[in-house]
A and B are shown apart, each in its own frame.
Chain A
Amino acid sequence: MKKKFYLKKISLLTACAMTLSVLSGCGAEPAPAEDTSAAAKEASSDSSSAASQSSSETAASSETTDSSEATASLEAVTITAWHDNDEAMMNALADVVNQTLEGENITLKFEKKSDVTGQIRLYGTDAANGPDMYLFAHDSLGGFAEMGILEPVENLIDPQKEADLLPMTLEAATYKDVQYLMPVYYETLLFMYNKALWEGDIPSTTEELYDYMEAHTDANAGTYALVNQHSTSYNVAPFINGFGGYIIDKDANPGLDTQEMKDAIVYNSKFATLQADGDYNTVTTLFNEGHAAAIIGGPWLISGIRDAGIDLGIKSLSDFTLPNGNALAPYSGVQCLGVLKYAAESKKDAITRVLEVLAEPSVGITLAQGFNCAPANSKAYEDPQVAENEMILAMEKTAQTAVPMPNIPEMGVMWGPAEGLLAAVNKSGENVDEAASKYQQEALTAIADMQ
């Protein structure tokens, strides 16, 4: 009887403990012991009030100077940035910033996350669990700006510090006339070829290129002259832009059924028949294993190509002329840092210093030398090693005709219909007019569904 009584008590206690442990997760996060945020906030408000007494230009520079002094006297501040890039590259970027800011007790730390945009959407208002900044391509900007989770970079850094940034990168970082992002480097598509497999000179027109492909492709034997992700809109953009078409315009009107778009798709489909499946893994494997002599791709392919021991040649896509006389014009994707609003409120001065360092040429030089990234800072190209880098020179040249990916929120829902249209024509053999009309309707519905 006594034993039964004890068992009962123990069971009740266990049940209570389990209940408490289940509920414990619902508790509020304890305040961090090292409350640098409040101090930083105070410092930043001091510096802002001091700055507001002067004229606008002087104000900006005095604010930066004051904030530097204030930050130096503060406790250590760590700025966390999420990314989904090559970790070695991000570590090199962090090293440049951290070495420069060594005496100011500011540390930049990168954390790799999959699906960064999805994660930012989830944690963009969560100061306790979210990052302070993120690094990602600029095309997601519009959505985040509309969500109201980003602090405009122009509120944090003196415009003079950004004077050397390429105008194309600043344009990409701007949404509705407000500069929200800090450009770091940009990427664009290139014509990359295996010098050991390509016969003769690289053509200068797309028609000559097609003739070469016809003569050097044997699909059943699995050998190709050129491979491309022919049903991915980013990879077909050089044709679309070259024909004067567009996926979506600045006013959020989809252009999948415009005549220029249809002409570009039909022209691209001619090449697609000689370019294998078009899936990313397939085309990169074909090129890296020596089954394809050339590939249309970006700098992200370089490490795999190097590992494969390929003697790589590079040509800018803007060196190829379409039958209409225009050059191929790929999209450019500018990798930018965005600052979350809550971080700008609590760590303003430290973030400003990080942004200032990122705007310097040294960051671009490091990324260019070590990772073939095309810097956003034009001064970085004066470095002798950068000036000799074939890939970066090709990207710099392409940047003159490249079109920044649209950064309006509606672009986010356009990738699906655009890719569906390309696959319908290239893979399922659907009529371009019918498919264009169907996917234009799908795009319009998707845009309407956003509201």
Chain B
Amino acid sequence: MKKTTKSNAWLYCLPAFILIGVIVLFPILYTGYISFTNMNLYHWQDFTFVGADNYIRALGKVDSGFLSALATTLLWTGVNMVLDVAIAYLLAVGLNTEGLRAKRIYKTLLVFPWAMPAYVSILVWRVGMFNTEFGLLNRLLTTLGFDKMDFLSKNTPAFLSCMALNLWMSLPYMIVMIDGGLQSIDRSMYESAILDGAGPWQKNWYITIPSLKKIMAPIVIMTTFTMFKQFDILYLLTMQKGAVSGSTLQTIITYAHQNAFVSNNYGLSSAVSMVIFVIIIAFSLWTNRAAKAERSEQ
């Protein structure tokens, strides 16, 4: 490649590089810088370099509470991912059934939760679904003669309630992606399979699922990250100031928020953020490597 062409290529990319630098890189580097200082309420303008003190304190938070939060996070991520993919797959396949009427209406309705801002969805569910006085679930219970139930006050029902809402919010994306993948599968493969005597199960197992794998891999990885760092659903349903529900569910993000971010100690919370950042990067590298290994096996 000519020297000028090479330098022109860099020049064309420069605006994008600067944007990425300002929006993505700078905040990370600045957080890294703050994590080595004692910036807090008492040293707001006169903060100084304190070395690795904040990291020692941040790692000191890796106690039983953190480990329990990590276990909850893994359980949350695993269960939600499995259900998300399985339910979305079934619905997407169902929507692609030949001869199904009003497909477009069903698809539009299914995408609706995705179009709503997350904050609104969560608050609507908190009041409209789980509230002891006005929630649909309690209305049903009292109509059937049962006592009211506080779905968010204890850990297990709170986990299931949060999960139901999470699936309601995340399914549309997964359905749209799988639906798109299904459209790209060559119909002639199914026709050949029918000629070979394959039933619906065999067609799904030997044609649909293998054909979707490559399309699904990046989507599953991205969604796994979203689930792993889930904050808003758990926080707004169970621990929002003024509406604490009583359950003690914590994921690593809510645990970090509770233990570092409410203190206005920016040095310490930056160190905790950097530790979480490293964990997520490690998790990302591991999943990428696993996906790569699977591709090379194929």
Q: Do A and B come from one complex?
A: yes
By a CB distance below 8 angstroms, the chain B residues around A451 are 40, 42, 265
Contact of A423 among B45, B244, B260 (CB under 8 A): B244
Are the CB atoms of A220 and B148 closer together than 8 Å? yes
Are the CB atoms of A279 and B243 closer together than 8 Å? yes
Q: Which of A373-409 contact B (CB under 8 A)?
A: 409
* Closest B residue to A16 using CB positions: B11
Are the CB atoms of A146 and B150 closer together than 8 Å? no
By a CB distance below 8 angstroms, the chain A residues around B19 are 22
Contact of A416 among B22, B150, B153, B258 (CB under 8 A): B258
Q: Is A215 on the interface with B (CB-CB < 8 A)?
A: no
Are the CB atoms of A449 and B132 closer together than 8 Å? no
Q: Is A19 on the interface with B (CB-CB < 8 A)?
A: yes
Most buried by A among B147, B154, B248: B248
Q: Is A58 on the interface with B (CB-CB < 8 A)?
A: no
A-B pairs with beta carbons under 8 A, tally: 114
Given contacts A426-B246, A428-B247, list 6 more A-B pairs with CB under 8 A.
Answer: A15-B11, A19-B15, A219-B148, A232-B242, A277-B131, A446-B262
Tell me the B residues contacting A by CB distance below 8 Å. 8, 11-12, 14-15, 18-19, 22, 40-42, 44-45, 57, 127, 131-134, 142, 147-148, 150, 153-154, 241-248, 258-260, 262-265, 268
Tell whether A450 pairs with B264 under 8 Å between CB atoms, given A15-B14, A19-B18, A147-B41.
yes
Nearest first, the 7 A-B pairs at minimum CB distance are: A427-B246, A18-B15, A428-B246, A449-B263, A147-B44, A423-B246, A427-B153
* Closest A residue to B266 using CB positions: A121
Q: Is A445 on the interface with B (CB-CB < 8 A)?
A: yes
Are the CB atoms of A220 and B147 closer together than 8 Å? yes
Tell me the A residues contacting B by CB distance below 8 Å. 8, 11-12, 15-16, 18-19, 22-23, 121, 125, 143, 146-149, 219-220, 222, 229, 231-232, 276-277, 279-282, 285-286, 291, 409, 412-413, 415-416, 419-420, 422-424, 426-428, 445-446, 449-451
Are the CB atoms of B44 and A413 closer together than 8 Å? no
Complex: A231 Cα to B127 Cα, angstroms: 17
Tell whether A286 pairs with B133 under 8 Å between CB atoms, given A419-B244, A450-B40.
yes
Most buried by A among B44, B133, B241, B248: B133
Most buried by A among B22, B153, B243, B248: B243
CB distance from B47 to the nearest CB of A (A): 11
By a CB distance below 8 angstroms, the chain A residues around B14 are 15, 19
Consensus secondary structure, chain A interface: helix
Complex: A445 Cα to B182 Cα, angstroms: 52
By a CB distance below 8 angstroms, the chain B residues around A286 are 133
Tell whether A428 pairs with B265 under 8 Å between CB atoms, given A229-B242, A423-B246.
no
Complex: A415 Cα to B12 Cα, angstroms: 52
By a CB distance below 8 angstroms, the chain B residues around A125 are 44-45
CB distance from A269 to the nearest CB of B (A): 12
Tell whether A277 pairs with B133 under 8 Å between CB atoms, given A147-B41, A416-B262, A423-B245.
yes
Are the CB atoms of A282 and B134 closer together than 8 Å? yes
13 A-B pairs whose Cβ atoms sit less than 8 Å apart in the complex = A15-B14, A18-B15, A22-B19, A220-B142, A277-B131, A282-B132, A282-B133, A412-B262, A420-B244, A423-B153, A427-B245, A428-B154, A449-B265
Are the CB atoms of B18 and A413 closer together than 8 Å? no
Most buried by B among A125, A276, A428: A428
By a CB distance below 8 angstroms, the chain B residues around A232 are 242
By a CB distance below 8 angstroms, the chain A residues around B246 are 231, 423-424, 426-428
Complex: A291 Cα to B131 Cα, angstroms: 15
CB distance from A304 to the nearest CB of B (A): 16
By a CB distance below 8 angstroms, the chain A residues around B263 are 413, 446, 449-450
Complex: A15 Cα to B7 Cα, angstroms: 13
Complex: A219 Cα to B258 Cα, angstroms: 33
By a CB distance below 8 angstroms, the chain B residues around A291 are 133
Complex: A413 Cα to B57 Cα, angstroms: 18
By a CB distance below 8 angstroms, the chain B residues around A23 are 18
CB distance from B125 to the nearest CB of A (A): 13
